[in-house]
Amino acid sequence: MPRKAFIADLHKAVEGVLIAGVSEVQPGGDDGEFTFQCAADGEKLQISALIPDVSEYPDSHSCMLFAPDDAPASVASTLSGISDSATGKSIIQLLELVSRKLESTDRDGDKQMLDSQEDFDEDVEDDEDDDVEDYTEDEYFPDDDLVPKSMFGKPEANATPGGYTKPTSLFRHRIRSDLMIAKANGFKVGHLGGLMDGLGCYVSLSCRISKLGISEEAMQAWQIEPTEYLIVLFHYPNGYKCMDSLRSYDAHAARRNFGVRVGISHTYKPTMQEAVRAFTTLSKEDEKRREQESQSDLYNEPHKGFRNSFISRPLNELLDERFPTLLNYRYNGMPWPGAEEFYNDHYGTNHEHSDLGLSDKYLDSEQINTAYPPIVSADHIQESPSQEHSLPLVGMQFVLRHFVRCTEFCLICFTKMPDDLQAIKPYVCDKPLCLYQYMSLGFGPSIEHEILSQPKVVDLLVSFCYASARQGGLKDFPTGLSLMVPPNAAYEKDNANQQQMSYSAWNQQPVVPPPVSTTPVTEQAQKMRYNTATRELLFDEPSQKCPFRTGDWLVIRTSDNPSRPFHCRVTETHLYPTIRVSEGIVPASIDQVAAGPQSYPVVDKGPQKPVTTASVNEFRPSTYYVYNQNFDDLHDFHKREAIYALLDILPSIADMKQYLTRKAQSPLSSWVDRLSPAVLGILRWIIASNRACIVQVEDDDEMNLNGRKGEERLYGMSGWAQFRFAMGAPDKERRFIHAVRDTTDRLKLKYPTLFAWHGSPLVNWHSIIREGLHFNHTAHGRAYGHGVYHSLDVNTSIGYCGYGPTGTFWPQSELKVNSALALNEIVNAPKEYVSSSPHLVVAQLDWIQTRYLFIRTSTNANYATSPSKEVKPLQSIEQDPDMTPRGASDRLIIPLHAISGSRRPQFRSVKAANKRQKASGKSLYDPIDLDADDEDDGVSVATLEEDLVIFQDEDVYVPQPDVDSLPTPNSTKGKSKASGFLSKLVGSKSAKPLTDYVPGSLDYSTLPMLEAPAWASTAATKRLQRDFKELLKVQDKEPPHELGWHIDAESISNMYQWIVELHSFDQTLPLAKDMKAKGYKSIVLELRFGKDYPMSPPFVRVIRPRFLGFQQGGGGHVTAGGALCMELLTNSGWSAVSSIESILLQVRMAMSSLDPKPARLENGGRTDYGVGEAIEAYIRACNIHGWQVPAGFKEMAYGGAPNQGPAYPY
C-alpha cells in the first residue's frame, strides 16, 4: 500500500539517516508532511516537505519543499527548483537530493555523495527530457491550454533566475496595495507559500455565499450552504504577478505564470495540501472520477474542506483559456459582455489591437439586474479608471459574474442564453457541439448521485419525458451526441408505439408521421437463427464478414413470436458464424399492452429479466436490426419514437439504485449488458437538461424508513405526492420579494401574497421544468386574456391537466404519473391581474413564484398520503381568508418553510408563547435572517494572524471604492496596529476633538458582578492578566474620543469577567442618534472568559441598552437576547492569537454597520439583558449558522453555575 510505504520510509528517516548535513527528521502536522534540519550557507535550516497525494508514493508522487521565512533567497530558490525534479523519489532519495543541491556538509566537512552512477544518470536524463519536452511544447503547440502544474514551476524569461520574483520594497508594496483594495471591496484575503518573498505562492479571495443574493432554492439546487465560502484561488508559480505584468504576457506565458481555481469551503481559504491538489493536472477520466467521489461524499456526509462547486470545472476552463485575453479586451475599452462577445465572434482569427472593438455593440455598457447585491455587480476596472488595478479583485469579480449569473451563460461556449429563458440550473445553448462537449466532458450532474439521492425525482423526470414523447409534444432533443439507435423499422410495427397528441382526456388524435419521401432510408431486417437457451446467433453463410463487433446492440425478433422483440448486446464474435449475446430485454410497453388496456405493469424490485420466450435448445429462424442509425439524422417524429422506445428498456430507478448501491465504486456505464450507450445518453440528457429544482417531500412513513428528518408536508392534498418546486433564474426569488414589498407598500396589503393552482397537461411538463412558466404558447385558448392562468380551486386546475391516454406513463415508473399540478405564490393584487374571475390570469411573471409540484399517481402507488395520515404543519403561513386555495381534501395549510427565510417572521401565525421554541436540528425560525447581506466577513470570521501580517505596512495607501465606508472611531492618527489597519481598510471621518462620554461614570453596583470562578486555571489567569495589561496600555495612549471604548481597571476584580463600554459613535449613525435621544452615553458590554482561554473564545454580550431585534428591523449583529452573532466568537471562527483589542474593534464595527439594516435601540423602558436570554440567543445563532459552541460554554457563561435556567439573572 502506498500509504504504508510512505509511513515506513518516514519512520526509518526519523530513526536516523546518514546523509551529510541532514538531521532531525520529524513527521509534520498534515498528511504527507514532514520536516528536517539541513545545513546550508553555514547555518542549520528547518525545511518542510509536503507530498500532496500519498496514494501515488513512491512511484509518481510530487513533492513540495518550503524554506523557513528567514532563509536566504538562494536557498529558497534552490528548493523551488528541486521540487521539479523530486517526482517519484523516496524520502531518503529526496533528502540526499536536497543535501547535494544545497551542498550540505557533515561535521567532518564531507559532502553528500551520489549513491550510484545509475542514480546520477537518471537525474541528468530526467532534466534533459524536461528540457526537450518544454522545447517541443513551445515549438509545435504554442497555443495549447496548459493547466498550471501542481508544483512551483520553472522560471519564465521575464522572471528572476531560479523560479521567483525579486522581492523588492516596491514589489511588496504592490502586493499589499492589491490585497487591501480587495479587502476594502468586501472580500476576505488569505495566502499560502512565499508571497512576500517572491516565491511560488497562492492567494485566495473569498466571500460568504449568503452575501451573493442567491435564493435558498438555488442554493439547494447548486448544493451549497449560505454559511460556506466561495473561494477563488490564484496560483503564482514564479512569484506574485500584478495586473501590469499579466497584461504584458501573451496567452502562453500568462498560463505559465498565473492560474485560477474556483471552489467552496466552510472556511475562508484552503490548506496548502488542498491548494496543491486543486492545481494538480488530471486526465479527464481522473477528473470525472474525483468529482463522482466528491459528490458521493457530499451525499453521505457534509464536506468541510476545499471542494469543487457544481460549476468549478467549466469556470476553471474559462479562466485558463480566456481570462488573460479578455483582460486585454477590457483595457481596449470593452466591458465584460463586449469582451466576451468579441472573443466568441473572433475566436481563432488574427486581429491587431487597433482593430479591436470597432463595432458599437462591443462597447455598449451592460444593463445589470438591480436585484443583484453590489458585491456581485461591481466592476473594479470601470469604477477605478485612474488607479492601479488589483488583479485578484478583478479575477474575483469576473468569477462572481459567471458564478452567481451562471444560468445566463452557456456552460461550454459561455455565450449569453436567450433573455426569456429563466432557469435555476445552468445548461448549454442550442449548439449541438456544446451539448456534445457538455455530456462527453462530464460537466452535467452525476446521474449516479441523482439516482442515489433523489430516486423519485429521477423517476418523475423520466416519466415527464416519456409522456411528452409518447403524446407527440417533445420538441427538444439530445442532438449532437451522435447516439446510435435502432432504425425506426425495428419497432414501427409495434402497436404500443403509436404517438398520440392529448391536451385533454376528450381530445385525442394521433401525431401524423412524416411523408415517406422524408423518412430516412431503413435497412431490411437481416436473417439468422437464434438459440434462446444458449443466447447464440448462427449465420448460415460463414464465408461472409461478421456484420458487427463486440459491444454492438441488436434488436431481435424470433419467427415463433415476432411481436415480442428484445434488445441485447453482442458479447463474443471470435467464434463466428456463431455469435454470443447478452440476456435479452423486452420493452416494458409490450408487457403492458399484453396485460390489457387498463392494467399497469408491476415493477419488479429485483434485476430485470424480461425475456419470457421458451428456452428451447435449438436454433430458430429470426431477424435482427443493429443499432446503427444516427439519432441526429432522424425526423422529429422518429426521434420521439426512438426516445420512448429506448426508455421502454430502461431499468426502473429502483433497479439502478440497487445496482449502484451494490457496486459503490462503479458508474452506471459499467452495467454494459443492461444499459446500451444510447439509453444511457438519453437518461443523462433527461437529468442534465432539467433546469428546475425539484425535491421530494417525504411522508412520515418514508422518513421513518430512511431514518432521517424531513420537512413538513403541505396539508389538504391527500392522495397526491408532494415535491418542493422552484424555477426561474437564481435572482428570481429576489425579484419576486421586491415585487411583493413594492406592491405591499403601495396598496397597504395585510396579506402580501396568495397561493393558487396552475394545471397543465402531462405532455407539457417536460418543457415547463426546462423553460419555466410563460404564456408564449396557447393550449386551451385565452378567453380571459394573455397571462399565466391560475385557480383557487384544485378541481378547476385538474380539469386543465387532462388525464393522459392509457399507456402514456413510463411503464417502469414507480410513480405512474397520471397528472401534475403546480402551486404558485402570487402577489396579492387581483385588481391588477389581467383577469380575476373566473380565473386568476397574471401577466407579470415576476409576480409568480413556484412553490410545490403535486403528482397524481395510479391507485396502486403506496406512498401518496391518505386523508387519515395527513398532519397539519406546526407553523404555517397566514393566508388571506378570502383567497385561500382549496385542495383535494381540505383548505390548504402551507408550512412556513415554503417561503424564503427573509420573509418567515412576517408570515408565521404562532402564539407568542411559542416564539422562542427551538425546532429540531437547526432552527429555521430564528429571527436571524439567512438571506440578508449582513454577514460581513471582516466581522463574522477571525482572520488568521498569518494573513493579517501582509497588511501591516504603514506606507500603503488604499484607494477607496465609491461606496459608503463602515463607521469607525473618528481618527486615524496615533492608533495602535489593529486600529490603524482598520481605519486604512474602511476609511475614516474627520477627527472630533471632544466626546460627551465621561470615563468612570458607570455605576457598577447595577451590573451583575461575579466572583472569581472555582475552576479558574493558572494558565488562563496569567494570559488574562497579560491581555488586560496590554489593553490598558492601549487605552492610556489613545484619547477616548479616538479609541471608542473604555474599561475601568479599578472596578475589575475578577479576571474572568470584564466590563467594557463602547462610546463616541459617529453622530450620523442611527444608533448614535438613538443613544442621544434616550440619554445613553455608552453601550455596556460584558466579556466572560473560560478556563480554556485563549483556546476558546470569550462570551461577549450587551448588558444595556436593549437593541431592536432582527424581527423588528434592527441590525448590528446583536441578537434578540443581547449576545453577539459573530462567528469570530465561536469555536468555528476563533483564533488563539486574536487580541481583545481586535475583538472590541470588530464588535464596534459590527454595531456601526449600515448594511443591510443599521443598529437601533428598542423603544420602551425594559430592563437590562439577562445572561440567560443571551445564552439562549448565542446557542440559537450557532445552530442556525452551523458554528461550533465552545466546550463547557454554559458553565463559563453562567460564571460557574451550569445548572441555572434562563431566569437566572446573572
Question: Quick check: helix, strand or coil at residue 1031?
Answer: helix
Amino acid identity of residue 323, one-letter, is F
The pLDDT score that the predictor gives to residue 40 is 79
The pLDDT score that the predictor gives to residue 106 is 47
Query: What tens digit of pLDDT does each residue of 1117-1161 get?
Result: 898 889 998 888 998 888 777 789 888 988 988 888 887 788 999
Amino acid identity of residue 198, one-letter, is G
Residue 583's Cβ-count burial label (10 Å; 0-12, 13-18, 19+) is: middle
The pLDDT score that the predictor gives to residue 734 is 75
The pLDDT score that the predictor gives to residue 431 is 79
Residue 404 C-alpha cell reads as 452567481
Encode 977-1007: b = buried (16+ Cβ within 10 Å), e = exposed. Answer: ebbebbbbbbbbbeeeeebebeeeebeeeeb
First to last CA, the chain: 58
CA dihedral (52, 54, 56, 59) in degrees, to 10, reads 100
The pLDDT score that the predictor gives to residue 978 is 38
Query: What tens digit of pLDDT does each residue of 419-460 get?
Result: 655 677 787 787 777 777 777 666 666 788 889 888 999 999
- Give yes or no for residue 302 having a pLDDT over 60: no
Find how far residue 510's CA is from the centre of its chain. Answer: 45
Position of cell 449613525? 1069
Contacts of 953 (CB under 8 A, 6+ apart): 172, 173, 176
Beta-carbon count within 10 A of 117 CB = 8
Query: SS3 helix, strand, coil % of the chain, rounded to 5?
Result: 35, 15, 45
- Give yes or no for residue 501 having a pLDDT over 80: no
Amino acid identity of residue 661, one-letter, is T
Q: Do 182 and 960 meet the contact criterion of CB atoms below 8 Å apart?
A: no
Query: What tens digit of pLDDT does each residue of 680-723 get?
Result: 999 989 988 887 888 888 776 665 555 445 567 899 998 899 99
Ramachandran quadrant class, 781 (left: phi over 0; alpha: psi -120 to 50; beta: rest):
left
The pLDDT score that the predictor gives to residue 175 is 92
Categorize the per-residue pLDDT at 727 as very low, low, confident or very high, splitting at 50, 70 and 90: confident
Cα–Cα dist 817/812, whole Å: 11
468, containing H or E segment: helix 455-470
Residue 922: half-sphere exposure toward Cβ, Cα within 13 Å:
17
Q: Do 971 and 1043 meet the contact criterion of CB atoms below 8 Å apart?
A: no
Average pLDDT over residues 462-489: 89
Query: What tens digit of pLDDT does each residue of 1025-1067 get?
Result: 989 998 998 898 888 888 899 999 888 989 999 999 999 998 8
Average pLDDT of the chain, as a whole number: 77
- Give yes or no for residue 663 having a pLDDT over 50: yes
Query: What proportion of the chain, given as a percentage, has pLDDT over 70?
Result: 74
- Give yes or no for residue 586 having a pLDDT over 80: yes
Encode 1071-1097: b = buried (16+ Cβ within 10 Å), e = exposed. Answer: bbebbeeeebbbbbbbbbbbbbbbbbb
Residue 948 C-alpha cell reads as 493579517
The residue with greater pLDDT, 84 or 1062, is 1062
Residue 438 C-alpha cell reads as 457538455
DSSP string, 266-307: SSSS--HHHHHHHT----HHHHHHHHHHHHHHHHHS---S-B
Residue 268 C-alpha cell reads as 475562508
Strand partners, 1101: 1086, 1123
- Give yes or no for residue 126 having a pLDDT over 80: no
Residue 1132's Cβ-count burial label (10 Å; 0-12, 13-18, 19+) is: buried
The pLDDT score that the predictor gives to residue 286 is 57
Residue 218 C-alpha cell reads as 438555488
Q: Which of 553-567, 920-934, 949-963 has the lowest mean pLDDT?
A: 920-934
Task: Determine the Cα angle at 1124 with ends 1120 and 1128, to 5°.
Answer: 150
Categorize the per-residue pLDDT at 333 as very low, low, confident or very high, splitting at 50, 70 and 90: confident
Residue 215 C-alpha cell reads as 435564493
The pLDDT score that the predictor gives to residue 515 is 60
Cα–Cα dist 526/402, whole Å: 52
- Give yes or no for residue 408 having a pLDDT over 70: yes
Q: Do 1087 and 1077 meet the contact criterion of CB atoms below 8 Å apart?
A: no
Query: What tens digit of pLDDT does each residue of 670-682 get?
Result: 999 999 999 999 9
The pLDDT score that the predictor gives to residue 294 is 54
Query: What tens digit of pLDDT does each residue of 733-791 get?
Result: 778 888 999 999 999 999 999 999 999 888 888 888 877 765 555 444 467 888 889 99
For 1164, phi then psi, to 5°, come to 110, 170
193, containing H or E segment: strand 188-193
Alpha carbon separation from 504 to 183, 247, 826, 1160 (Å, rounded): 59, 62, 26, 58
The pLDDT score that the predictor gives to residue 709 is 53
Cα–Cα dist 139/154, whole Å: 17
- Give yes or no for residue 179 having a pLDDT over 50: yes
Position of cell 418542493? 724
Strands 64-66, 43-50: pairing is antiparallel
State the sign of the Cα–Cα–Cα–Cα dihedral 951, 955, 959, 963.
Answer: positive
Residue 186 C-alpha cell reads as 468586501
Position of cell 424531513? 710
Residue 1019 C-alpha cell reads as 494558565
Average pLDDT over residues 259-281: 90
- Give yes or no for residue 10 having a pLDDT over 60: yes
Encode 1114-1124: b = buried (16+ Cβ within 10 Å), e = exposed. Answer: bbbbbbbbbbb
Categorize the per-residue pLDDT at 960 as very low, low, confident or very high, splitting at 50, 70 and 90: very low
- Give yes or no for residue 887 having a pLDDT over 70: yes
Average pLDDT over residues 1077-1096: 90
Question: Quick check: helix, strand or coil at residue 1020?
Answer: helix
Cα–Cα dist 68/73, whole Å: 10
377, containing H or E segment: helix 374-377
Cα–Cα dist 1171/1199, whole Å: 10
Contacts of 134 (CB under 8 A, 6+ apart): 154
Omega before 1040 cis (within 30°)?
no
Contacts of 162 (CB under 8 A, 6+ apart): 74, 77, 78, 80, 81, 155
Nearest to 459 by CA among 690, 740, 711, 166: 690
Residue 1167 C-alpha cell reads as 430592563
Strand partners, 856: 720, 819
Strands 229-236, 500-504: pairing is unpaired
Residue 506 C-alpha cell reads as 376528450
- Give yes or no for residue 125 having a pLDDT over 80: no
State the sign of the Cα–Cα–Cα–Cα dihedral 1001, 1003, 1008, 1011.
Answer: positive
Average pLDDT over residues 835-845: 90
> What letter would DSSP give residue 714?
P
Q: Which of 448-452, 516-520, 813-817, 1006-1010 has the lowest mean pLDDT?
A: 516-520
The pLDDT score that the predictor gives to residue 66 is 83
Question: Quick check: helix, strand or coil at residue 1077?
Answer: helix
Query: What tens digit of pLDDT does each residue of 760-774 get?
Result: 888 888 888 877 765
Omega before 838 cis (within 30°)?
yes
Nearest to 624 by CA among 550, 675, 559: 559
Question: Quick check: helix, strand or coil at residue 1079?
Answer: coil
Categorize the per-residue pLDDT at 503 as very low, low, confident or very high, splitting at 50, 70 and 90: very low
Cα–Cα dist 560/554, whole Å: 18
Of the ranges 349-363, 877-891, 935-949, 1130-1144, the best mean pLDDT one: 877-891
Question: Quick check: helix, strand or coil at residue 253?
Answer: helix
Full 3-state SS string of 545-612: CCCCCCCCEEEEEECCEEEEEEEEEEEECCCCCEEEECCCECCHHHHHHHHCCCCCCCCCCCCCCCCC
DSSP string, 393-461: HHHHHHHHHHHHTGGGB-TTT-PBPPTT---SS----S-HHHHHHHHHTT-S--HHHHHHH-HHHHHHH
Q: Which of 341-355, 378-392, 822-836 has the lowest mean pLDDT?
A: 341-355
